[in-house]
């Protein structure tokens, strides 16, 4: 982990790389932004397709491997992840929380700081409308980051992940608005209301 941190510091002395993750149990999105001279540009985006795995634990293992591979390939300085929304289906929420936790664990394993943003905050940061559709978010990101239609991915999970990274880019000069976790204990301390006693 120390070696990885040294490489990251050396490579990104003049720039910052942000990995965005949109957690999912069937399709998980990822997007990578590079920030140089206060300007953001898209490096890549894509999805981790989990539909071929019937076993929930195999899905989690694949998430860990793929997120680790993305971190190794792009050496992000920070990770922005979309917080799970709260729904009525407890089983779906549990599965989504596990998927998000596995992606977070991969980042922690590499010493990458994590920032969590609510879906409404991401939509507001990009479109100015917390109720914006996935299509509106994708369209605005395309205009803001100036990438071609060819770069658009079939699944909107990729642009949602890029949206998380872009939201973090926009919040970088306002650290008081970020939720930052250094590990599981820190997460618990900062989220007492979410801990079941």
Which residues belong to the active site?
22, 82, 157
Q: Tell me if 18 sits within 8 A of 79, measured CB to CB.
A: yes
CA 182 to chain centroid = 16
- In terms of Cβ atoms closer than 10 Å to its own Cβ (0-12, 13-18, 19+), residue 160 is buried
């Amino acid at each position: 982990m120390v070696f990885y941190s040294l490489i990251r510091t050396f490579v990104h002395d003049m720039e910052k790389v942000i990995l965005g993750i949109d957690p999912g149990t069937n399709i998980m999105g990822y997007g990578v932004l590079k920030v140089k001279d206060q300007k953001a540009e898209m490096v890549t985006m894509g999805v981790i397709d989990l539909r071929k795995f019937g076993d929930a634990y195999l899905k989690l293992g694949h998430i860990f491997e793929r997120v680790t591979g993305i971190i190794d390939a792009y050496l992000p300085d920070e990770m922005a992840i979309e917080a799970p929304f709260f729904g009525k289906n407890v089983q779906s929420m549990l599965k989504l929380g596990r998927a998000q936790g596995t992606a977070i664990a991969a980042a922690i394993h590499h010493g990458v700081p994590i920032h969590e943003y609510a879906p409404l905050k991401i939509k507001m940061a990009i479109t100015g409308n917390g109720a914006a559709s996935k299509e509106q978010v994708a369209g605005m990101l395309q205009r803001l980051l100036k990438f071609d239609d060819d770069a658009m991915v079939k699944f909107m999970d990729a642009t949602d992940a890029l949206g998380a990274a872009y939201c973090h880019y926009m919040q970088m000069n306002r650290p008081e608005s970020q939720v930052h976790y250094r590990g599981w204990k820190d997460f618990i301390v900062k989220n007492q209301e979410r801990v079941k006693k």
